[in-house]
């Protein structure tokens, strides 16, 4: 990958309106260089991938601004499954857990995900244009793979924008501006149907272009990951379950499910911090991870990071007073014989009660961590998600035996006996799959997506700091971000909020 792909150029005076993200080559530079050296496009794609974990990529200096995993935390908190149980520094409390941002379009937390995802989209448009545009199929196979990955990243960004900025899927509702070329700017909102059509088109194209691609590292999107993203986008629409099932059938057998030893610490005791056995979720080489990134000292990740906000054993907020914990009501639904119960500190007398000491941790297990340099890895997608989506799709199609089979293949690694599934059917089966999705993927940024798909109502447990016991439906205004003030001010084509 070429470092020249990350050259700095002068941007517009209003950063929000940057047509070309300032740390990337310009459109003309990318196109000209690509004609002579395909590595330039590969380097530009690497820059797009790096935005996923880059601090301040949402346009602020806030300590919750660090790319994809930052917005995974937002979603998990809005869904209620991730509790802010102690707040000493104030991050997330008012804006997210007290819903001030989703109810006030001038709040900066509306701007951050909008700016981050559109920044990726505009960067992707540069690469796509340099390779011939949206309908092109490059002759050089390496460029086909670059185009496939780039289209998948663009689709991924539009999908998350659609999820965060629309209360619920309504195909006729105008929700987002659509930019598909480097020249596009200041566009009007288009319908959700148009956004999802682009998502599907990009991903189907990516799946075709990535046929035969063997990636160098898991931070790159391969064909299976593109299918996984497409499965999520189709499931969000509520009537595409056969396609979801087909896609997840294609993928789920290609990776092993994480074992009991891999998902949680074994034989742990309350407040035990020494001699970990299993768990950690800190190594991208874990076979059950489909998509993730290997952070190294060269990545430049430190205090302002997902690990800093989530892990008691990494030096940062989760160790020093902004504690993130599993919702106590959700924890109570995990059976005592389920290995995932060991992912959380279970000591009601401790202020650290229900923190994920046995799921996400620095393997050194030094409380509050001695280092501000993060080299622990980040997970974006696991094969467990494909089994759960497959079960959800099958259950919604009335294929209940297949749904139980997919779910039991996962749960066989979590509990001793899955025979209770035999007695479930109809909505009870769908509800169980939703519950298992929340438990299995807790803290991984998938609870918000599942809440919307299942049209669930959020009821916060007793360890939240606000709105305890309140019933909040999935499509409530307080669970969906507003179009940010900057977009309203500087884009003359948009002057209204979404319905």
Quickly list DSSP for 59-128: SS--TT-SSHHHHHHHHHHHHTSEEEEEESS-TTIIIIIT-TTTT-TTSHHHHHHHHHHHHHHHHHHHHH
What pLDDT was estimated at residue 251?
Answer: 98
Backbone angles phi, psi at 380, to 5 degrees: -105, -30
pLDDT attached to residue 363: 87
What is the C-alpha end-to-end distance of the chain, expressed in Å? 43
**CA-based max dimension of the chain:** 64
User: What is the distance of C-alpha 156 from the center of its chain?
Assistant: 9
**CA-CA distance, 439 to 430, in Å (whole number)?**
14
With CA atoms as reference, report the closest residue to 498 among 75, 168, 195.
168
pLDDT of residue 83: 98
DSSP 8-class letter at 452: H
**CB 26, CB 20: distance < 8 Å:** yes
* Residue indicated by tokens 């920044």: 119
Give the number of C-alpha atoms closer than 13 A to the C-alpha of residue 492, restricted to the C-beta side: 0
Q: pTM of the predicted model, to two decimals?
A: 0.93
Q: What residue ranges of the chain have pLDDT lower than 70?
A: 1-38, 267-278
Structure tokens at 261: 């030893």
Burial class (CB within 10 angstroms; exposed 0-12, middle 13-18, buried 19+) of 428 = exposed
Model pLDDT, residue 207 = 98
């Amino acid at each position: 990958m070429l470092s020249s792909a990350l050259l700095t150029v002068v941007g517009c005076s209003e950063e929000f309106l940057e047509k070309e993200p300032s740390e990337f080559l310009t459109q003309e530079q990318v196109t000209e260089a690509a004609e002579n050296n395909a590595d330039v496009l590969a380097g530009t794609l690497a820059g797009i991938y790096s935005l996923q974990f880059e601090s301040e990529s949402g346009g602020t200096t806030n300590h919750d601004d660090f790319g994809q995993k930052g917005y995974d935390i937002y979603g998990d908190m809005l869904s209620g499954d991730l509790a802010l149980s102690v707040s000493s520094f104030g991050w997330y409390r008012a804006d997210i857990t007290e819903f001030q941002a989703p109810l006030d379009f001038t709040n900066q937390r509306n701007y951050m995900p909008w700016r981050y995802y559109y920044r990726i989209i505009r960067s992707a448009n540069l690469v796509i244009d340099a390779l011939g545009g949206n309908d092109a199929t490059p002759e050089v196979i390496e460029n086909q793979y670059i185009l496939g990955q780039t289209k998948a990243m663009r689709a991924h960004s539009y999908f998350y924008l659609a999820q965060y900025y629309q209360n619920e899927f309504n195909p006729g509702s105008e929700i987002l501006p659509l930019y598909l070329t480097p020249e596009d700017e200041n566009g009007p909102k288009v319908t959700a149907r148009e956004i999802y059509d682009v998502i599907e088109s990009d991903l189907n194209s990516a799946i075709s272009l990535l046929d035969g691609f063997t990636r160098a590292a898991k931070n790159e999107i391969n064909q299976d990951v593109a299918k996984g993203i497409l499965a999520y986008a189709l499931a969000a629409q509520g009537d595409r379950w056969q396609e979801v099932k087909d896609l997840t059938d294609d993928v789920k057998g290609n990776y092993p499910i994480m074992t009991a030893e891999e998902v949680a610490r074994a034989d742990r005791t309350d407040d035990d911090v020494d001699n970990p056995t299993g768990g950690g979720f800190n190594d991208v080489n874990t076979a059950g991870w489909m998509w993730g990134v290997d952070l190294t000292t060269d990545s430049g990740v430190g205090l302002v990071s997902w690990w800093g906000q989530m892990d008691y054993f990494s030096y940062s907020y989760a160790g020093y007073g902004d504690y993130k914990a599993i919702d106590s009501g959700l924890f109570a639904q995990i059976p005592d014989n389920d290995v995932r119960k060991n992912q959380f500190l279970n000591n009601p007398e401790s202020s650290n009660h229900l923190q994920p000491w046995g799921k996400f941790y620095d393997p050194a297990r030094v409380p509050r961590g001695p280092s501000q340099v993060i080299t622990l890895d980040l997970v974006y997608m696991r094969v467990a998600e494909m089994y759960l989506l497959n079960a959800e799709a099958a259950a919604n199609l009335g294929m209940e035996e297949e749904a139980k089979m997919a779910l039991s293949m996962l749960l066989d690694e979590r509990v001793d006996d899955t025979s209770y599934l035999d007695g479930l059917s109809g909505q009870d089966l769908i509800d169980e799959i939703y519950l298992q999705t929340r438990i299995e993927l807790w803290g991984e940024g998938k609870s918000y997506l599942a809440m919307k798909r299942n049209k669930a109502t959020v009821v916060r447990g007793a360890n939240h700091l606000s709105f305890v016991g309140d019933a909040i439906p999935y499509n409530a205004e307080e669970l969906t971000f507003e179009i940010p003030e900057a977009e309203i001010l500087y884009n003359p084509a948009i002057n209204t909020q979404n319905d």
